[in-house]
Amino acid sequence: MTNTNDLARIDRYTCKFENPVMEDRFMAEKWVRVKKPINFAIIFFAIIFIFDAYNVYNMIGEFKLFLLGYPVFILLYLSWFKFPERLKKQKFDIIFACMFMFYHFFQIFQMVAEPALMAEGGMNPNDMLSFLPTLFLFIYILFPGNFSTSVIMAIIFLLTFIPTLMQIKGAHISVWIFSLPIPLILLTYNKYNVEYRSRSDFAKSVSIDETKNLMQTTLKRYFGDVLSDKMLKEGGELDGENKWVSILFSDLSSYSTITENMSPEVALEFLNEYFTAMHEVIKEFNGHILNYIGDSIMVVFGAPEKLKNHENQAVKCSLKMKEKLKELNQKWDEDETSRYWKNHDIESITMRIGIHTGSVIAGNLGSQEMLQYSTIGDTVNVSARLEQANKDFNTEISFSHEIYTALTKELYDQSSLSGEITLKGRTTSTKVYSI
């Protein structure tokens, strides 16, 4: 990941981000803010050109070839709306500045080409010179471009406009030579500060956003999408709630035998591959993984967010988990990972799953320094014992009578009674079903 300090570094002379990616992001964000004002300005200037052409024509009293420049500029400005959006987003300040400067040079051309006619038409060079402060105010305050672009525009104005006026008789340029520097320095300094603060604030917002995204990504890796979103929304405070949910426990058969000849690295890689595959399935059925205990997985359906027909979702999920494990077995046969258990006369890896539904307390559990979202209650205990009951009935998926009676007809018809057992802590027997 790129260091945030590197991204935020601003060139002291150009007042641009040194990182080109950061510069592009800033310009794209700025474009969103200035898009409408620039579009309005383009239309406004195009209209002004029409009135300007009419006034110049009246002043000189006859048609001159240079007047054809006005419709050309009108079309040039309106072509802005045909520019690719991507180009305008990244280079809008340069494009807008070029358009404005082209018209400036056109005005200079008029003054040089027809000075006498301009004077006869009532165009006083001193009046024209008085527009300079207004132009600089536009460049440094109203112009939406970058600091460096504004400075270049101001320099070009000074190097072209003032020398041109000096060639026109009657232009009292001396006053402006002494009065312009101070406002220019102040306006340049102000533009620099505003631009620098704007970019610094943007860099801070990017840093905050990246930190937030990193936090969200990290939270989702550890707690899942639903729980992490709920934690962020509620400030991490997930108080205990009474919820009716379905709990699923899964466990790998003969896990100790399977991993006894594996190195710690291989065992970890094996488990992570298995957990990743199971997580995809569990997520598909809107289950939330509460905990990994060795090779066991504890899943809740119906918390932290409510879930309709969570009993059916839990059973469907168990069937899909069983199918996914078959696919993994085929893969492990192909890459010879299966040698670790086939050496112990285990043909393929199987799992045991227990499912029960009922009331639980769901919320943050633990100390003030370390909390874990979990569920507590008899429902959890029954689910865990139903998972172990698969050993007695030689089944893979076992669930309670409460689950059985809530199933859809399709799942109901596929299920059958495995038998009855007396669970630890209970005096009455519990019916156990399998599918």
pLDDT digits (tens, 9 = 90+) for 108-153: 777 676 665 555 545 555 555 666 666 777 777 778 888 888 888 8
| Domain 235-434 bears CATH identifier 3.30.70.1230 | yes
Mean pLDDT, the chain, as a whole number?
81
Give the tens place of pLDDT for each residue, 284-314.
Answer: 999 988 888 888 999 999 988 888 899 999 9
> Who has greater pLDDT, 75 or 216?
75
SS (H, E, C) 264-316: HHHHHHHHHHHHHHHHHHHHHCCCEEEEEECCEEEEEECCCCCCCCHHHHHHH
Which residue in the block uniquely carries the two structure tokens 């200079």?
A: 108
Separation between Cα atoms, residue 152 and residue 156, nearest integer Å: 6
- Residue 234 pLDDT more than 60? no
| List of residues 6+ apart from 307 with CB closer than 8 A | 245, 286, 301, 313
| Cα torsion angle, 214, 219, 225, 229, sign | negative
- What are the structure tokens assigned to 41, written together? 């300005």
Q: Name residue 384's amino acid.
A: A
Phi/psi of residue 17, each to 5°? -65, 135
Separation between Cα atoms, residue 98 and residue 121, nearest integer Å: 29
> Who has greater pLDDT, 177 or 119?
177
Phi/psi of residue 362, each to 5°? -115, 130
| Cα torsion angle, 166, 171, 175, 180, sign | negative
Out of 158-167, 258-267, 364-373, pick the least confident: 364-373
Candidates 273, 274, 272, 297; CA nearest to 287 is 297
pLDDT band at 1 (very low <50, low <70, confident <90, very high): very low
- Residue 351 pLDDT more than 80? yes
pLDDT band at 258 (very low <50, low <70, confident <90, very high): confident
For the chain, domain boundaries:
4-215, 235-434
Give the tens place of pLDDT for each residue, 26-56.
Answer: 888 888 888 888 888 888 888 888 887 887 7
pLDDT of residue 20: 86
Across residues 420-430, what is the average pLDDT?
82
Across residues 350-373, what is the average pLDDT?
80
